[in-house]
Structure 1
C-alpha cells in the first residue's frame, strides 16, 4: 500500500515545503509505519521501535542505520515515551500523579468529569486503546475500562467537548452524529446510563446554525433542566430557536420555549449555573443570562483594557466567588492586573475591591483555575501561582506539569486539579530536532543539537546526512549550516556542502545526493546547481546536472527515470515552465507531460503512474482544483481526483501506502469546517477513509 502525506506550516509565515523527505509527524500526527515504499537508501521499511513515542512538534523525516538504529528528525524539542494525558496536581504540595494509563488514548483530551465513584470520564478528539472514539472511562484504579459508547461522525472524527454527570446519567455534548451499539442517531447530544453504560433514549434534535455548524461545547444541569451552549440552530422536537444557549427538558426531547437567548454568537462556550444565572463565555466576552427566560442580565465587568485590544478571556466559579481573567489594568476603576475577584453570593456579582494583583510577568491570562486556597494562571505557555487570600504571587515547591502551553482543561477537587491536556511529552528531557534510537527502542547518547529544525535525513552506506534550517550543529559546535554529514558521535565531518540557504528535501539517487531547497549556491566547489542539485557523497562537490531551475524547489518524487518536482519557479532549462516540471533523471533534460499549475506546488508524490500534487493552486491543467490534484504521469492529463481543502499554510505532501495522507491545519474539507490534524484520503475517489491518523495526535506512532 502507498500513501500521500501533506504537511502544513504551524505559523502564518512564508509557505515552505519539505518535498519528499520521510514523513513522521506534523502538528502532532502519527508516523506512518512504511515511509519510502521504493526501498531507497536511508529508508525505514520496518522501524525497529515498536513502542509509541511522542514529540512536542513535527517529526519530518526518519532513516535507519545498517546496524538497526533509527534516526528521527524534525521541529521538536522533546521526544520520548508518551506521558499520560490525564494528571492530578496539587499546587500546595507539588504532588503530581497520573490518573490514567499513558497509552489510554491517542489524541487530544478536552474535558474531564468525575463519575462520582472515584473514576473519571474523559472526552476530546482521540482514539482510545479500547477502540472508543472521543470518550472513555478511567476506573477508580486508574485503568481504562472496556466501555465503548460507539460515538461516530461518519467518515469524520467524532469529538466530545462537554460532559456532565447527573442523577446516574452521563450527558455528553460535542461533535458526533451517532452513538451506541447498534448505532443510533444522536446529533451532538447523547445520554448514557452510568451503571450499565447503555445509551438512553434522550435525544433532543438539533439543527445547524446559519454557518452550517453544529457543536455542543458546554452542558449545565440545574432546576430539572439541562442547558447547552455552542453552535446550533433549532433545538428540540418542537424546533425552538434560542441563540447560542438553550434550555432542554430532562424528561423529554423538547426545548423549554420560555427560555430564548438572543444576541449571542455561534461560538458560545464555557458555561456555569450559579444562583439562577448562567455565566458563559460568548464571542470573547463574559455574558450572564437569566436561567428562567434567557434574558441578558446586563452584567458588565467594566474592564480597563491595556493595551486597547486586551480584555476578557476566562472565568472560574468557586463557591460564591467569581474570578475573571484576561489582559486589563483595572475593573470598574479598581486597579488589579489581569485577574479580578467578584462576590457572587447575591443575584448579581459585585467587585471585591479588597483583592488585587500586580501580575508579573506581563501577558494575557488565557486560562484560570482556582483551588481552595490558590489560583493558577496560564500566560504565554507559562503558569503563574497566586495566593487566593491576598493576590500575592509565589513560587511553588514543584511547578505545575502543564507549563508549555499544553493545558486544555481541569477539574477542581479541593486543592487538587485534574488536568486533561494535549501534550504527551511532559517531563521528557530536552532533545532538539534530532534523536537516535537503538534497535531496542532506547534513546542513544547521540546529541548533534542543531539550533533549528531538521527537515530531511538520509543514510548512505552508514553515513548520516541531514538538511534543514539550522545554522549550527554538532556536539562540538561547527558553525556549519543547512546541510552536513554527522558521524555516529554526533560530530560534523569534513564533508562540506556549503549550502547558502535552507534544504527542503533530499534523497540518495544513483550514487549521489539529490537535494531540493531554497539555496542558490551549494557544493564544496560551489558547482552545485541552484534549488535542485546533486552532490558527491565523496567530497560534496557538485555532480554534473543539466537541469536549471530559477526558483525554490519544495519537493520531488521519482518514477523510473522520471523526476517530477514542484515549487515556486517560472523556468526550467530556460523554458517557461511554472511550479511543476518533469525531467529525465539520467540526463536532466526537460520532459513534457505535465499540466499547467497556477501557483506554487508544495508537494509531489507518484502512486501507480499518477502524480498527486499539493500546493496553493486553484487551477491545474485548466481544471479547477483547490490545493489537491492528480494527473497521469504518461501524458499529463488531469484526473477527476479533486478533494477540496482550505488550509492556512503549507509544507509538503507524502505518499506512504495505498492511501493519501494529508497532514495539515485545515479550515475546511470539501466545503465543511474541518479541524482535525490529518486527512486520510482514498487515492482513487478522494473520499476520507477510516484510519487512526484521521484523529488529533501528538503521537509519533512507530509500528513493527
Structure 2
C-alpha cells in the first residue's frame, strides 16, 4: 500500500528536480541531469540497493529485536559495520508491535521506508478495512507509533496514524469487535462505559473523529462482545454474554444500528448457557443469506436465516471453534476440535454449506487455529501451530482454495496466538496481521546475534550458545565472549569462548575455565593481555585462578597475572587505565588481603594491588560497572556509601588525577545501577533498576547525564523493564536490557538512540 505512495512520490520529486535542466548530450548514469540517473535512483530506492554508487543513498535501516521465553540483552559491541548482541534469547525478528503489514505472497514484513511500522503497544484483537485504503484496529493497546490511542485507532493509507480520530481515553477497555456502517464505527468488547456515556460493552463512535454517538445506547451486556457484523441495515452481535438488560440472551442478538435497541423478532441465539466466539454472514447451498455462529456451546457451530430460524447446517465439531468464514460453497472452521462428527479433522476444516459435511480436510496443522480469514482464493490462519504439511510455520500460514495446497506465505510470528486476539485483513498488496504477537519474520538465534548496521538485517551462520552471554569484547581480529554457557554449536566451552572475526567461527582454543556453572561477567584488554573475571571461577587451564585471570592476547595462553579475589569473590567490571586495572565486584579479599572490599586497582603486569582508589575507604556493596571520562572514573552498583567518605547512592566518581572521590556527588540513583557508558561529548548513559536519576523520575531504568553541566538530560525512553547495558558509536547509543517497550513503542530488548527522541 505505502510502497506505491513512496514510489510515485520519488518519481514526482526527481522528475520536477530535473525537468527544468537542459538535458546532456551524453546519457551518463552519474550525471544528475540524465534519464539514466533518474531511473537508476528510482530503482535503487525501490529495491533497497545500498551498494557503493554515484547514485543517491537512502536509509534502509529496519531495526530488529530479540525474543524468547526470556528476552534479555546483556552485551553489545560492533565490528566492521556489524552490531553484535549477546544475552538470553532464542530468536530475532522485526519489532512491528501487534499489528504488522506483511507481503501477501511471501509474508515478508513491508520495509519501514515504504510503510512505517505501526508499533502498536499492547494487543491488537481486531482489524477492519475503512473502505478507502486504510484500516481501523482495536484491542488492548495504549499507543500507536508512539502516540497515545486508547484501544481504537484509525490507520490512514500510507501506514500513518490518523491524527483526527481520537477516541476518549479509558485504560480499562478491551476492544474485540469492530464494524463499519455509514459514518458509524461500532465497537464491542469489555468496558463499563464510554467517556461520559453509560454504554456497556458496545458503543457507536464517529468514524472520522472517534467521538461517541450518544443516541446509540444498547442495554447493558453481562459479558464481553467478540464480533459485530452488518447486512447493511442491521447489526448482529455475538459474544460471551448470557444476559442483556436483565433478560436472558445467549451469545447472539440483533440490534438497531441507530439506537442499539434489540430486535426481538430475531429469536436466534446459542443454546442455553452457550457463548459465541465469531459470526459470519454467508450463504447456504441455495444462495440464501444465513448467519453462521461458532463458539463454546452445544454443537459448537450452527447457522440461522436472517429471520432467526435455525437452519439444518450442523457440522458438529467435538471441541471449541474460534473462527468461521466461507469461500464459495465451503464453510471453513478453525479451532481446537479434532473431529467433525465422527471423522478425524484437526483444527481446520472445510465443510459444505448445506448440512456441514466435510469437504476439505487436508490442512495437516499440528495445533490449534485461533483465527482465519478468506482473502481471494486463499485462506489465512493464525494459531498455536508450528508446522503444517511437514513444513515449519510459526503460528501463521496460508493455503490455496479449494486445493488446500500450502503456499509460500510465511510471516513467522514470535508468539502463539490466543483468543480473542487475532485478525487478518487485506490492504492492497499487503496483509495486516493483528494479534498478540510483537514481532514478525522470526529467525532462530540462541543468545547471540549479529546485525548489519546499515540495513538492520541479521547476519546468517552465526554460532548458537546454549546459555546466557554476559559480556563481549573485541581485540584485534577476535571476539571474546563470556557468560554462563557450556556449549557453542554443541562444542564444549565453559563460560569463555573466542570467536574469529569476521567469520564468527569458534576458535579451536579452549582456555579451560572451571568449574561448570562459572559466570564470566567482564572482559577487557591492554596491548598484551585479555583480562576476565566473574563468579564461581576457581581455575583456568588446570591452574588456580580465583575469579580473576588473564590470557596472552596473541597465543591465548594463560599468563602469570593472578590478583586472586579469594574463594567466593567475584568481579563484574574491569577497567584498564594506563598500567592499572580497576576491579569492581563483590569480594572481601585481594592478593590474600582480607581487608579489601569490592573495589581496588591492581597492576596490569604483576597483579599486585595499588592503594588506589583507597586502601581504607571501600564501597559498601557491589560495584557493577565503570567508565572512564576526562580523567574521571564513574562507577555504579549497589553501594550506598564509600567508607568514611559518606553517602554515594549507587554512583560515584573518582578523579584519577587527584586520586580522590569527588564530593559532593553530582550524580546518584535510588536503586541498582548496572551500566554506565560515556561518549566523547561528555555524556553518560546510565542503566539499571532504579526509579530515578538525581531525583528525576522520568529517568526510570535509564537516563542520560551531561557531565559538562552535571544535569540529567531531557530524554525519557520510558522502558517497560530494566536496562542492562549501553554502547556508544558515532553519535548513536545502543541500549539493551529486559524491556519490550521504549518510547511507548515495542522493541525487542534493545534500541538505538541519538538522544533526540521527543516525549
TM-score under structure 2 normalisation? 0.54
Distance 1:85 1:60 in 2: 24
1:548 is matched with: 568
2:177 is matched with: 162
Shift of 1:699: 7.3
Choose which of 467, 485, 498 in structure 1 pairs with 2:513. Answer: 498
2:342 is matched with: 333
Choose which of 143, 151, 174 in structure 2 pairs with 1:127. Answer: 143
1:323 is matched with: 332
- 1:89 and 2:100 equivalent? no
- 1:351 and 2:364 equivalent? no
Map of 1:431-470 to 2, 5 A cutoff?
433-436=447-450, 448-452=462-466, 454-459=468-473, 464-468=479-483, 470=485
| Secondary structure in 1 matching 2:753 | coil
Shift of 1:368: 3.8
Shift of 1:135: 3.4
- 1:702 and 2:738 equivalent? no
Measured at CA, do residues 262 and 631 of structure 1 come closer, stay the same or move farther in structure 2, by a change above 3 Å?
Answer: farther
Choose which of 117, 123, 129 in structure 1 pairs with 2:132. Answer: 117
Shift of 1:165: 0.8
| Secondary structure in 1 matching 2:513 | coil
CA contact (8 A) 1:59 1:76 kept: no
CA contact (8 A) 1:406 1:421 kept: no
Measured at CA, do residues 357 and 372 of structure 1 come closer, stay the same or move farther in structure 2, by a change above 3 Å?
Answer: same
Measured at CA, do residues 402 and 491 of structure 1 come closer, stay the same or move farther in structure 2, by a change above 3 Å?
Answer: closer
| Secondary structure in 2 matching 1:136 | strand
Shift of 1:169: 1.2
CA displacement, residues 92-126 of structure 1 (integer Å, 9 cap, x when unaligned): xx999789823332445432201122322233436
Map of 1:357-372 to 2, 5 A cutoff?
357-360=361-364, 362-372=366-376
CA contact (8 A) 1:370 1:376 kept: yes
1:394 is matched with: 405
1:523 is matched with: 540
- 1:61 and 2:65 equivalent? no
- 1:200 and 2:220 equivalent? no
Shift of 1:678: 8.1
Choose which of 151, 158, 169 in structure 2 pairs with 1:152. Answer: 169
Distance 1:415 1:441 in 2: 23
Distance 1:225 1:447 in 2: 56
CA contact (8 A) 2:416 2:437 kept: yes
Distance 1:402 1:528 in 2: 46
| Secondary structure in 1 matching 2:541 | coil
CA displacement, residues 230-265 of structure 1 (integer Å, 9 cap, x when unaligned): 567975xx5666566666553346667897878657
Shift of 1:69: 6.7
1:342 is matched with: 351
CA contact (8 A) 2:237 2:254 kept: yes
Shift of 1:534: 4.2
1:39 is matched with: none
The root-mean-square deviation of aligned C-alpha atoms, in Å, is 6.0
CA contact (8 A) 1:481 1:498 kept: yes
Shift of 1:86: 1.9
Shift of 1:61: 2.0
CA displacement, residues 345-378 of structure 1 (integer Å, 9 cap, x when unaligned): 5xxxx1235x243444655455444345444555
1:103 is matched with: 117
CA contact (8 A) 1:335 1:356 kept: no
| Secondary structure in 1 matching 2:226 | strand
Measured at CA, do residues 178 and 452 of structure 1 come closer, stay the same or move farther in structure 2, by a change above 3 Å?
Answer: farther
CA contact (8 A) 1:450 1:471 kept: no
CA displacement, residues 57-105 of structure 1 (integer Å, 9 cap, x when unaligned): 42422334599974322424334686981235259xx999789823332
1:191 is matched with: 204
CA contact (8 A) 2:473 2:524 kept: no
| Secondary structure in 2 matching 1:702 | strand
Distance 2:549 2:298 in 1: 54
CA contact (8 A) 1:161 1:218 kept: yes
Map of 1:168-317 to 2, 5 A cutoff?
168-174=183-189, 189-201=202-214, 204=217, 216-221=225-230, 226-230=235-239, 238=245, 242=249, 249-252=256-259, 264=273, 269-272=277-280, 277=291, 279-282=293-296, 286=300, 288=302, 301-303=315-317, 312=321, 314-317=323-326
Distance 2:312 2:293 in 1: 12
2:156 is matched with: 139
CA contact (8 A) 1:168 1:194 kept: yes
What 5-or-longer segments of structure 2 have no aligned partner? 1-59, 283-288, 388-392, 575-581, 590-596, 601-614, 623-636, 641-646, 651-668, 673-687, 694-698, 703-717, 723-740, 755-759
Give the structure with the higher percent helix.
2
Shift of 1:271: 3.5
Distance 1:609 1:245 in 2: 64
Q: Which structure has the bigger radius of gyration?
A: 2
- Greater shift in the superposed pair: 118-127 or 435-444: 435-444
Measured at CA, do residues 203 and 323 of structure 1 come closer, stay the same or move farther in structure 2, by a change above 3 Å?
Answer: same
Measured at CA, do residues 253 and 521 of structure 1 come closer, stay the same or move farther in structure 2, by a change above 3 Å?
Answer: farther
CA contact (8 A) 1:434 1:447 kept: no
Distance 2:201 2:751 in 1: 30
Measured at CA, do residues 207 and 297 of structure 1 come closer, stay the same or move farther in structure 2, by a change above 3 Å?
Answer: same
CA displacement, residues 670-704 of structure 1 (integer Å, 9 cap, x when unaligned): xxxxxxx98569xxxxxxxxx85677655743222
Distance 2:428 2:485 in 1: 47
TM-score under structure 1 normalisation? 0.57
Shift of 1:279: 0.8
Bigger RCO of structures 1 and 2 (CA < 8 A, at least 6 apart): 1
2:713 is matched with: none
1:73 is matched with: 86
Measured at CA, do residues 692 and 404 of structure 1 come closer, stay the same or move farther in structure 2, by a change above 3 Å?
Answer: closer
Shift of 1:404: 6.8
Distance 1:175 1:105 in 2: 23
Choose which of 381, 386, 389 in structure 2 pairs with 1:380. Answer: 386
Distance 2:199 2:649 in 1: 40
1:615 is matched with: none
| Secondary structure in 2 matching 1:105 | coil
The count of aligned residue pairs is: 540
What 5-or-longer segments of structure 1 have no aligned partner? 1-48, 305-309, 566-571, 574-582, 595-603, 612-629, 634-652, 663-676, 682-690
Measured at CA, do residues 337 and 459 of structure 1 come closer, stay the same or move farther in structure 2, by a change above 3 Å?
Answer: closer
Measured at CA, do residues 443 and 370 of structure 1 come closer, stay the same or move farther in structure 2, by a change above 3 Å?
Answer: closer
